[in-house]
């Protein structure tokens, strides 16, 4: 199985995920805006197929009653989000740099987006 390889800013936390991951989602919720300074673009993958490696392990914390988030304990890079009890993990697209050849496929929590940026027009069905 082809894998995508990524890492945090300092390289201490590394991750691999299947190249056939579900897709890229942009979340515009207020939590993501505050944590990332903008919307959060994430690659959604089966949790069982995501492998963390490197010198450091992701540091997970409860960010709400429904989700946990991870960051690098050294550089603070935002790494991932996962629903409590969920089977998927949402990986920050920034971990993969230019190697991620995917486009945003879905926008969520769009009603929360700030006025200073415009959302793309919805795509027409084929």
Q: Where are the alpha helices (DSSP H) in the chain?
A: 30-36
Please give the domain boundaries of the chain with CATH numbers for all domains: 3-112 (2.170.150.70)
Q: Residue range 92-119: average pLDDT? A: 79
- Choose the most confident range, by mean pLDDT, from 22-36, 85-99, 104-118: 85-99
pLDDT band at 125 (very low <50, low <70, confident <90, very high): very low
Predicted confidence (pLDDT) at residue 104 exceeds the cutoff of 70: yes
**Exposed, middle or buried: residue 19 (CB in 10 Å: 0-12, 13-18, 19+)?**
middle
**CA pseudo-torsion sign 91, 93, 8, 55:** positive
What's the confidence (pLDDT) of residue 122? 61
Assessment of whether the complete model's pTM goes beyond 0.85 = no
Q: Each residue of 62-91: b (16+ CB within 10 Å) or e?
A: ebeeeebbbbbeeeebbbbbbeeeeebbbb
Q: Would the pLDDT of 99 be above 80?
A: no
């Amino acid at each position: 199985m082809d894998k995508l390889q990524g890492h945090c800013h300092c390289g201490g936390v590394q991750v691999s995920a299947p190249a056939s991951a579900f897709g890229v989602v942009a979340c515009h919720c207020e939590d993501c805006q505050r944590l990332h300074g903008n919307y959060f673009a994430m690659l959604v993958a089966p949790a069982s197929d995501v492998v963390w490696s490197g010198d450091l392990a992701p540091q997970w914390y409860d960010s709400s009653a429904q989700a946990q988030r991870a960051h690098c304990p050294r550089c603070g890079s935002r790494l991932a989000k996962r629903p409590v009890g969920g089977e998927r993990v949402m990986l920050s697209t920034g971990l993969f740099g230019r190697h991620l050849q995917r486009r945003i496929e879905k926008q969520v929590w769009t009603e929360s987006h700030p006025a200073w940026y415009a959302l793309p027009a919805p795509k027409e069905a084929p």
